[in-house]
Structure 1
Amino acid sequence: MSSVRPVVFAQWLGRLPYGEALSVQQSRVNQLVAAKKSPSPSTPKVNHLLILEHPPVYTVGLRSHVYSESEETRLRALGADFYRTNRGGLITFHGPGQLVAYPILNLADFRPGDRSLGVRRFVELIELTMIKTVAEFGVVGTTSPHTGVWVGDDEASQRKIAAIGLKVRMGVTSHGLALNCNTDLAWFDPIVPCGIEGKSVTSLSAELRRDVPIRDVIEPFCRAFADVFHCDVQRPFSFQTC
């Protein structure tokens, strides 16, 4: 087996409207799928890690059948956009102060721990990446029967700090994760995030009782991603401009 680590090209997109981010994702996915289909073994298969934040937007996944037009209108009236998507999961919020990452990966390129990377394991490694990221700030993250990353000493006090919603097409991933850094958590109040009743949300800033902007989290996140996925994350951008 080759010991060469796969390369992932990270790109900071800044604050990008959700619809524009979808277009960027789809372009990268189409390129990667086309490369996999190419009869030429020399056709490059480029893996991407898109890092960004969104203006306020509520998104629902494939399992969200309960959001009527009136519900959509209610949420839009709050000043947020609204999108129905083809990712997994239920409703969530994205907005300023939230680190969003969309890994566009050919799963066959990755064998962390010399194990093939299926969808379930991919989700587990995304969770582990976020656990390692928040750990760099002294926050203890855990998993639960629900997807995502949580903080709290017991089930009753668990608070969700990061969410996951993914899609895999022909072994190529899209959509991704959202980690609350200094997000205005009031945006979550009008919804039941990810359809999980009785659970609250939190952020790095809320847990640490100090401001933790996205620019302070990108580098720890990229390091954690490289460590967990046994890859080299190339990031040709300056965090000081984020």
Structure 2
Amino acid sequence: MPVAVRAVRLGLCPYAAAVRAQDRCVGLARDGAESVVLSEPARPVYAWGLRGAPSAAAAAALRARGAGLAAVRRGGHITFHGPGQLLAFPVLDLRRRRLPLRRYVEALQALVLGLCRRLGLPAARALPPPLTGVWVRDSKLCAIGVHCGHYITSHGLALNCCTDLSWFDHIVPCGLEGKGVTSLSHELGQHVTVDEVLQPFLDSFQEVFDCTFVFPEDPED
């Protein structure tokens, strides 16, 4: 029987608010309630995980461009989050699902690949480890960076829908020299919003993680 997962839809909101909602969901997951937090960053933010923090001078330069800065508990180097991007933070119990962390990351990639097929982008692909995410040619469409503590996942993926890709020009995205960044809008040749992607994303999530969704009326619940 499919597991029920709470879909917490925050819409356009600050990156920090999405992280706080995720942290509340981590507490609920310890009591058995799984969630996925979905949002679109309201303002530009550069975030980095356990590696790749910018130097003080580089951080000051990014801040001068009008972006926020955030250090977060996940794997991966610095990347960009901003309007036009779908952020998805699945908060799942890998022990209950009997899912090793490596296979969980592969499941996130499969989820986005399924979404791309639904949208008419069969050229999207996953690359062999240690590269993660979803790519079109040598350009990353979706970044993946996760944290897992006591078998509970947090953070997750950032899918470029109609993101202003010029924000990536000021960093080495995910620490990968010589690789590009792309978006659904660029690849499909039409403006694709986060709202338009949300339902096919949920459909693909249900398919990959064998779940059904419940939608809390209040995202704070």
Query: Hey, what does 1:49 align to over in structure 2?
Result: 36
Indicate the SS of the match to 1:75: helix
- The answer to whether the 8 A contact 1:97-1:180 is kept is yes
Choose which of 142, 152, 155 in structure 2 pairs with 1:162.
Answer: 142
- The answer to whether the 8 A contact 1:89-1:165 is kept is yes
Query: Hey, what does 2:125 align to over in structure 1?
Result: 142
Query: Hey, what does 2:16 align to over in structure 1?
Result: 19
Query: Hey, what does 2:201 align to over in structure 1?
Result: 221
Query: Hey, what does 2:2 align to over in structure 1?
Result: 5
- TM-score, normalised by the number of residues in structure 2: 0.92
Larger mean CA deviation between 117-126 and 17-26 belongs to 17-26
Mapped pair 1:182 → 2:162: yes
Choose which of 36, 47, 59 in structure 2 pairs with 1:59.
Answer: 47
Structure with the larger strand share: 2
- The structure with the largest alpha-carbon Rg is 1
Indicate the SS of the match to 1:216: helix
How far, CA to CA, are the matches of 1:235 and 1:126 in structure 2? 21
Code of the residue aligned with 1:109 in structure 2: it is R
The unaligned stretches of length 5 or more in structure 2 are none
Equivalent residue pairs, number: 213
Query: Hey, what does 1:74 align to over in structure 2?
Result: 61
- TM-score, normalised by the number of residues in structure 1: 0.85
Check 1:27–1:236 CA distance in 2 against 1; reply closer, same or farther (3 A cut): closer
Post-superposition CA distance 1:1-56 (Å, at most 9, x none)? xxx211111121012212222221112112322x2xxxxxxxxx111111001121
How far, CA to CA, are the matches of 1:233 and 1:106 in structure 2? 16
The percentage of aligned residue pairs carrying the same residue is 44
How far, CA to CA, are the matches of 1:204 and 1:236 in structure 2? 28
- The answer to whether the 8 A contact 1:6-1:109 is kept is no
The unaligned stretches of length 5 or more in structure 1 are 36-44, 111-115, 153-157, 238-242
Query: Hey, what does 2:108 align to over in structure 1?
Result: 126
Larger mean CA deviation between 205-214 and 21-30 belongs to 21-30
How far, CA to CA, are the matches of 1:99 and 1:218 in structure 2? 8
Check 1:235–1:27 CA distance in 2 against 1; reply closer, same or farther (3 A cut): closer
Runs in 1 of length 4+ with deviation above 3 angstroms?
A: none
- The answer to whether the 8 A contact 1:9-1:47 is kept is yes
Larger mean CA deviation between 18-27 and 88-97 belongs to 18-27
Structure 1 residue 233, shift from structure 2 partner? 2.3
How far, CA to CA, are the matches of 1:136 and 1:95 in structure 2? 24
